Amino acid sequence: MRSVTLSRFLIEEQRDKNVISPDLRLLIEVVSRACKAISIAIGKGSLAGVLGSAGSDNVQGEVQKKLDVISNEILLDANEWGGHLAGMASEEMELPHAIPNRYPKGEYLLLFDPLDGSSNIDVNVSVGTIFSVLRCPEGMDPNEQAFLQPGTRQVCAGYAVYGPTTLLVLTLGDGVNVFTLDREFGRFVLTQGDVKIPEETREFAINASNSRYWEEPVKRYVDELLAGKDGPRGQDFNMRWVASMVADVHRILSRGGIFMYPIDSKTRAQGGKLRLMYEANPMAMIVEQAGGAATDGRRRILDIQPEKLHQRVPVILGSKREVERITSYHGQ
Ligand code: AHG
Ligand code: MN
Ligand code: MN
Ligand code: MN
């Protein structure tokens, strides 16, 4: 079989289909290279002394792992000088990172969660990188305001999963493609084109230790799943929770399911747990492009007008019918 590398795929998207600009192609190439570097750092683990805590807190109030900081640095360094970006924003940085004056500037804004699932890093469980690309509004400096665009404006979104294999999952708003890192050659190869999430599922993902804090619609929905074939759903459901969003979402992309990090009485004051700009929006775009759905329980995630860079949001995404069901419970 002829193997299509990410580079070839992107060149064809630009040249033959006109789906992306040369600068967006460069951006994705650079991000994929950064993900490769992160994958290598993660793969070395203790041998390179990269595990454990960095001894600092981020703007989210979380203790930073060394690899949170290293991954953030890798993405910044890789993307600073190419001339394709106006600015960057990250889960790990309080303020947007402007491109230094010594480098040319481009029209895109890059947002990322450099290391997703970092609580799993020290126990050797899959982690990832999530990213989202917006256009910088014309004539605007890449300050916080420039980034506050709804997810519908994303021109590209993707994630890397650093698991048994390293994968890059990408959407340009034209379906979802999966690339596998060929470690010997150091390149990503297209291994699954136009992925679609199965509409029906018997699997769900939620951190059930929060159940006493949930709202009524979430309790009802999960109770019905747990009742299995004796309940209103008339069938048994299986539960999975990796606690790395990338791994949970990737499982859903592969075999269907629903992922929920709903608002609860513990996270209400901050608006939810997951971050709209670095986690919810890119994942919602990918899931919708794969035929699934993503809401905050009430609204489509991609329609939310962000008010703050580090805004948090409840997230319910995955197989369409299940997302529609629990979303309708919220309306009742
Ligand atoms: P991050 O490591 O980037 O801070 O994200 C962690 C997120 C997400 O990946 C995961 O779904 C969720 O936090 C897990 O939360 P719990 O530990 O509360 O289950
Ligand atoms: Mn974090
Ligand atoms: Mn995350
Ligand atoms: Mn993170």
Predicted ipTM? Answer: 0.98
Smallest CA separation from ligand 1 atom 8, residue: 245
Mean pLDDT for the stretch of residues 15-31:
96
Q: What is the pLDDT, as a whole number, of residue 7? A: 98
Mean pLDDT for the stretch of residues 40-56:
96
What's at 236, amino acid-wise?
Answer: D
Residue 13 in contact with ligand 1 by CB distance below 6 A: no
Q: What is the pLDDT, as a whole number, of residue 28? A: 98
Residue whose token pair is 């859903």: 252
Smallest CA separation from ligand 1 atom 12, residue: 243
> What are the distances in angstroms from CA 206 to CA 97, 245, 259?
33, 11, 6
Smallest CA separation from ligand 1 atom 17, residue: 243
Q: How many CB atoms sit inside 10 A of residue 113's CB? A: 28
What's at 107, amino acid-wise?
Answer: E
Smallest CA separation from ligand 1 atom 16, residue: 243
Residue 168 in contact with ligand 1 by CB distance below 6 A: no
pLDDT at 105 over 80: yes
Phi and psi of 313, rounded to 5°? -155, 145
pLDDT tens readout for residues 108-156: 999 999 999 999 999 999 999 999 999 999 999 999 999 999 999 999 9
Q: Residue 2: which pLDDT band, with cuts at 50, 70 and 90? A: confident
Smallest CA separation from ligand 1 atom 6, residue: 117
Contact residues for 92 (Cβ-Cβ < 8 A; gap 6+): 58, 59, 64, 68, 69, 72, 114
pLDDT tens readout for residues 154-185: 999 999 999 999 999 999 999 999 999 999 99
pLDDT at 1 over 70: no
Give me ligand 1 centre to Cα 242, in Å.
9
43 annotated as ligand-binding? no
Give me ligand 2 centre to Cα 195, in Å.
28
117 annotated as ligand-binding? yes
Greater pLDDT, 200 or 238: 238
Residue 244 in contact with ligand 1 by CB distance below 6 A: yes
Residue 59 in contact with ligand 1 by CB distance below 6 A: no
Q: How many CB atoms sit inside 10 A of residue 260's CB? A: 23
pLDDT at 102 over 90: yes
Look at strands 258-261 and 203-206 and give their pairing: parallel
Q: Which domains does the chain have, with CATH numbers?
A: 6-192 (3.30.540.10), 203-330 (3.40.190.80)
Q: How far apart are the first and last CA of the chain?
A: 52
119 annotated as ligand-binding? yes
- How confident is the prediction for the chain on average, in pLDDT? 97
Determine the Cα–Cα distance for residues 317 and 312; give it in Å rounded to an integer: 15
Residue 3 in contact with ligand 1 by CB distance below 6 A: no
Residues around ligand 2, an ion, CB closer than 5 A: 62
Determine the Cα–Cα distance for residues 243 and 239; give it in Å rounded to an integer: 13
The minimum-distance atom of ligand 1 relative to the CA of 278 is 3
Mean pLDDT for the stretch of residues 286-306:
98
The reply to whether the predicted model has a pTM over 0.95 is yes
Strand partners of residue 157: 132, 171
The minimum-distance atom of ligand 1 relative to the CA of 113 is 3
Give me ligand 3 centre to Cα 248, in Å.
11
pLDDT at 47 over 70: yes
Q: What is the pLDDT, as a whole number, of residue 200? A: 85
